[in-house]
Amino acid sequence: MSYPAIQPYETGMLKVSDLHTLYWEVSGKEDGKPVVFLHGGPGGGTGEKDRQYFDPKAYKIVLFDQRGAGKSTPSASLEENTTRDLVSDIEKLREHLKIDKWVVFGGSWGSALSLAYAQTYPERVKALILRGIFTLRKSELKFLTQDGTSHIFPEAWDEYLKQIPEEDHGDLMAAYHKRLTSKDNQIRTETAKAWSKWVMATSKIRVDSKDIARAAQDDWALALARISFHYFVNGGFMREGQLLEKQRIDTIRHIPTVIIQGRYDVVCPARSAYDFKKVFPEAELTIVPDAGHSPWEIPTSKLLTEVRRLRHCAVFVV
């Protein structure tokens, strides 16, 4: 379930530091309601399908690739790449495009970045549409990288483990990060593909061979894996549980917020969305009973494209 494929009517490269330049694009209705799409990963980048969540007759759709991801340069760079940097980049892009306020749409890592941005610039956020809540708490990271998802996808887990010597199995997050920052290009590439394959294999209730094939794309896999573990080992460059702290939630409590969460999401388990809802009861949480992590599983995709029909519908429709 999605809107028809469209092409951007404007694209550009925005220099945000001496090192980093971001790719951005705008599609949809030129004078429509502005919405910015924050991709997952970290390091995942945007794709053509990401435009299709939004009604092109109603929305001015802004997509961009975060530092080191997608078409942004330099690719897979870890330098000057923190959550604070990315939040600042979003604001620079808003100013560059001369947008006053926008709806912020983010899933997985994009949900964490959406919250970090909204908590920093609440006056610039019209509404939040979040999918697959991720807050980079230690328990979430351990579930995906060490002990949790491994019990549900054991065959894929064996492939994930092959990259790491047995003596390093006690801390796989650190071991992966070490290999992804190795000076040996072959080690970096092989490790990146293994991580990307693991994520692709676990993102849907039914494993999609097309997703697995994407993990073999060197540049995409390297950016996704290197930047992901850069953020993982640093806890997202935030305090443990920072995004759920009361004083942080209080800054966005007035912002209409919708959360779509797959019940069987084993990349960003439903516990995080549930915990978020408890500290932010004003948000509208919908747990999709027959979906995993991917936004493109039909039940989740349907809800994301029809979010205007939910309780806060007036906020999301021009």
pLDDT digits (tens, 9 = 90+) for 242-291: 999 999 999 999 999 999 999 999 999 999 999 999 999 999 999 999 99
At residue 48 the predicted structure's pLDDT band, cuts being 50, 70 and 90, is: very high
CATH dotted code for 10-137+238-309: 3.40.50.1820
Residue 183's pLDDT is 96
Strand-pair partners of 130: 106, 259
> How much of the chain, in percent, has pLDDT values that exceed 90?
91
Contact (CB, 8 A) for 129 and 33 = no
The per-residue b/e assignment along 212-230, b for 16 or more CB within 10 angstroms, e otherwise, is eebbeeeebbbbbbbbbbb
Residue 309's pLDDT is 53
Residue 313's pLDDT is 47
**Does the pLDDT of residue 307 top 90, yes or no?**
no
Residue 317's pLDDT is 45
| For range 114-118, the mean pLDDT | 98
Residue 66's pLDDT is 98
Helices (H), the chain: 83-96, 109-120, 138-145, 154-161, 172-180, 185-202, 209-214, 218-233, 246-249, 270-279, 298-305, 313-316
* All structural domains of the chain with their residue ranges: 10-137+238-309, 139-235
Residue 213's pLDDT is 82
Residue 207's pLDDT is 85
At residue 138 the predicted structure's pLDDT band, cuts being 50, 70 and 90, is: very high
Residue 310's pLDDT is 47
Provide φ and ψ at 184, rounded to 5°: -85, 115
**DSSP code of 72?**
S
| For range 152-181, the mean pLDDT | 96
At residue 124 the predicted structure's pLDDT band, cuts being 50, 70 and 90, is: very high
Q: What does the alpha-carbon distance between residue 272 and residue 270 come to, in Å, rounded to a whole number?
A: 5
**Does the pLDDT of residue 314 top 50, yes or no?**
no
Contact (CB, 8 A) for 129 and 300 = no
pLDDT tens readout for residues 59-90? 999 999 999 999 999 999 999 999 999 999 99
| For range 211-216, the mean pLDDT | 80
Q: Which two tokens stand for residue 165?
A: 């010597």
Q: Which residues belong to the active site? A: 108, 265, 293
**Does the pLDDT of residue 23 top 70, yes or no?**
yes
- Which residues, in sequence order, are CB contacts of 228 under 8 Å at separation 6+? 41, 42, 43, 109, 195
Residue that wins the pLDDT comparison between 68 and 217: 68
**Does the pLDDT of residue 212 top 90, yes or no?**
no
At residue 1 the predicted structure's pLDDT band, cuts being 50, 70 and 90, is: low
Residue that wins the pLDDT comparison between 276 and 219: 276
| For range 132-160, the mean pLDDT | 97
Q: Are strands 10-15 and 33-38 parallel, antiparallel or unpaired?
A: unpaired
